[in-house]
């Protein structure tokens, strides 16, 4: 299977390399060019014990890019962008919203089914009420029919 990871920080890089370790082809999409360059040089974009070895072991199974169009060349996308807290304690969804818009734009040009999984930490209802309408808006696609949409929360 081909898997894409949107957001290649602590959660994204480990999730993606886990998929690579199990034999999948992985595309990391991140807006941070320095992280993308590092991943393509097989250097850890963040510090995590054992990450360097994991990256070396899976050499050739993954690439990184800033180009969302590469995302649609995969079957499944995990969104792992940050969700920082605002001063009032609520979650700032700006990265989730921006990534959702880019996913929507990229999916508009894809005929095949594509599944999107939200791994970023969001409050219940965010996938349904924030991500789904953004992806559906301009793409002309319907969730659970033209594209899959799920939440992958873990503690």
Ligand X SMILES: NC(=O)c1ccc[n+]([C@@H]2O[C@H](COP(=O)([O-])OP(=O)(O)OC[C@H]3O[C@@H](n4cnc5c(N)ncnc54)[C@H](O)[C@@H]3O)[C@@H](O)[C@H]2O)c1
Which residues of the shown chain bind ligand X in the complex (CB under 6 A)?
Answer: 6-12, 29-32, 35, 46, 80-83, 95, 98-99, 102, 119-121, 152-154
CB of 1 to ligand X, least distance (A): 20
Beta carbon nearer to ligand X, 6 or 55: 6
CB of 95 to ligand X, least distance (A): 4
CB of 37 to ligand X, least distance (A): 13
Beta carbon nearer to ligand X, 38 or 132: 38
Beta carbon nearer to ligand X, 10 or 54: 10
Beta carbon nearer to ligand X, 24 or 120: 120
Query: How far apart, in whole angstroms, are the C-alpha atoms of residue 120 and residue 152?
Result: 8
Beta carbon nearer to ligand X, 44 or 82: 82
Q: How far is CA 103 from CA 6, 110, 119, in A?
A: 9, 11, 15
Residue nearest to ligand X (CB): 9
CB of 30 to ligand X, least distance (A): 4
CB of 103 to ligand X, least distance (A): 9
CA 96 to chain centre: 10
Query: How far apart, in whole angstroms, are the C-alpha atoms of residue 62 and residue 110?
Result: 21
Measured at the CA of 28, the angle between CA 11 and CA 126, to 5 degrees, comes to 55
44-49-52-55 Cα dihedral, nearest 10 degrees = -90
**Sign of the Cα pseudo-torsion (135, 91, 95, 42, in order):** negative
């Amino acid at each position: 299977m081909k898997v894409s990871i949107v957001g290649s920080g602590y959660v994204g890089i480990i999730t993606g390399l886990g998929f690579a370790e199990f034999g999948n082809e992985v595309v990391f999409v991140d807006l941070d060019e320095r992280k993308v360059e590092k991943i393509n040089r097989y250097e850890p974009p963040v510090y995590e014990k054992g990450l360097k070895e994991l990256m070396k072991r899976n050499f050739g199974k993954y690439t990184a890019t800033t180009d969302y169009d590469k995302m649609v060349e995969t079957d499944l996308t995990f969104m792992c962008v940050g969700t920082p807290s605002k001063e009032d304690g609520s979650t700032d969804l700006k990265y989730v919203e921006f990534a959702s818009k880019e996913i929507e734009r990229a999916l508009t040009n894809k005929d095949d089914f594509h599944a999107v999984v939200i791994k970023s930490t969001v409050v219940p209802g965010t996938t349904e009420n924030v991500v789904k309408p953004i992806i559906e808006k301009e793409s002309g696609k319907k969730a659970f029919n033209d594209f899959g949409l799920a939440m992958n929360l873990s503690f």
